[in-house]
Copies of this chain bind each other. A is one copy, B any other.
Amino acid sequence: MYLDEHERRRELYRLQAMLCQVLADPTRIELIELLGEGPKAVKELAQATGQRQAKISQHLAVLRQRGLVHAQRVGTEMHYSLTDSRILEACHLTRSLLLDQLLRQGELAESVLSERR
């Protein structure tokens, strides 16, 4: 069960890819954002996102299985919350990366337009 350094590094990359895969869905990102405001019931999440309940439950199951969120029964409801606030940080960092990309593309588009004038 002991791996050499090379294999260990590669195994880490594999796990990291699985983590990123969880973040690679718009609905799950929105759920993470909403849960960043505090614990919420499934119904609330479905309402806030405008998605069907079954779909929300499916995505919550993915987040749960990967340990990103934690579920707690409260009467008949299930209250979900983030297990680690750094999940939010990761989301925000990738978003700022994205925004910079979009800005750059916007500048590129503008410069192309001004060349053509």
Contact = CB atoms under 8 A, between A and B. Distances in A.
Contacts of A21: 20-21, 24
Interface residues of A, number: 37
A92 to B, nearest CB: 10
Main SS at interface, chain A: helix
Contacts of A29: 13, 16-17, 20
A27 to B, nearest CB: 8
**7 nearest interchain CB pairs?**
A13-B26, A20-B24, A21-B24, A20-B23, A17-B26, A14-B26, A13-B29
19 contacts: A13-B26, A13-B29, A13-B30, A14-B26, A16-B95, A17-B29, A18-B24, A19-B98, A19-B101, A20-B21, A20-B23, A20-B24, A67-B104, A67-B105, A84-B97, A84-B100, A86-B97, A89-B93, A90-B97
